[in-house]
């Protein structure tokens, strides 16, 4: 990295510590709570790997939950040393998202491009291209195949306040988020699949067979 002037955006990952019984519970069964948490840990590590290999960004992680109790806690902690880590705050998920955008901008004063830990198939080229798209719009939104969204980029972080009125984790969350951004030039990114259930997990793992995520699924024996 040659200097602050070359940094295009903060690349924010909103993440939950992969604690057994609290992470990816919709994978149970066939996974046990411990196996589901290990899959979540693998997804988080693959995501962070892509983030850290994306050029000209400030990596930020907004974290909730006990990392001490998480699967692969030492490996995750080691990777987080290369990121700015902030605590999630807020009563609802929408509040936590809005606050994460605000806190990330306060930390680095840059446009914010945010993703979650449910798309371990993201790559540095996809992230870089998406951030390039943000430079030409007020905002960009990456729709998810289930009707939600996998990415939100904002040049004006105050727009994140509009997320507080958007119902999350619904089939119309993506459409409602676009509606909340009405009046602002919003670019639409490629559609990705969130890993919310085992069927989607299999599909994503098949698309990225050399990842930690795919290895965790293969160890569970659900890819056959």
pLDDT mean over 72-85: 97
At residue 127, does pLDDT exceed 80? yes
Domain parsing of the chain, residue ranges: 9-217
List C-alpha distances in Å: 160 to 148, 157, 200, 213: 16, 6, 28, 30
Q: Tell me, what's the pLDDT at 193?
A: 95
pLDDT mean over 156-163: 89
Average pLDDT, the chain: 93
pTM for the whole thing? 0.93
Of all helices (H) and strands (E), which one includes residue 120? none
Residues 6+ apart with CB under 8 A from 150: 115, 116, 118, 119, 122, 142, 143, 144, 192, 194
At residue 146, does pLDDT exceed 60? yes
pLDDT mean over 14-29: 94
Contact 189, 133 (CB under 8 A): yes
CATH superfamily to which 9-217 belongs: Spore Coat Polysaccharide Biosynthesis Protein SpsA; Chain A (3.90.550.10)
| Percent of the chain at pLDDT exceeding 90 | 86
Q: Tell me, what's the pLDDT at 2?
A: 35
């Amino acid at each position: 990295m040659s200097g602050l002037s070359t940094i295009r955006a903060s690349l924010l990952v909103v993440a939950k510590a992969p604690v057994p019984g609290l992470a990816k519970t919709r994978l149970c069964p066939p996974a046990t709570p411990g196996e589901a948490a290990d899959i979540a840990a693998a997804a988080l590590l693959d995501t962070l790997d892509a983030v850290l290999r994306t050029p000209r960004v400030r990596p930020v992680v907004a974290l909730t939950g006990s990392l001490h109790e998480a699967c692969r806690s030492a490996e995750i902690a080691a990777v987080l040393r290369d990121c700015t880590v902030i605590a999630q705050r807020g009563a609802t998920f929408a509040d936590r998202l809005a606050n994460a955008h605000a806190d990330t901008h306060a930390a680095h004063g840059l446009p914010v491009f945010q993703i979650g830990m449910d798309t371990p198939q993201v790559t540095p080229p996809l992230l870089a291209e998406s951030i390039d798209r943000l430079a030409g719009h007020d905002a960009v939104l990456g729709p998810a195949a289930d009707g939600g969204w996998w990415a939100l980029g904002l040049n004006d972080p105050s727009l994140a306040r509009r997320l507080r009125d958007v119902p999350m984790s619904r089939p119309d969350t993506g459409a409602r988020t676009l509606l909340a951004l009405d009046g602002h030039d919003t670019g639409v990114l490629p559609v990705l699949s969130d890993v919310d259930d085992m069927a989607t997990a299999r599909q994503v793992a098949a698309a990225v067979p050399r990842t930690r995520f795919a290895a965790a699924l293969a160890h569970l024996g659900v890819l056959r």
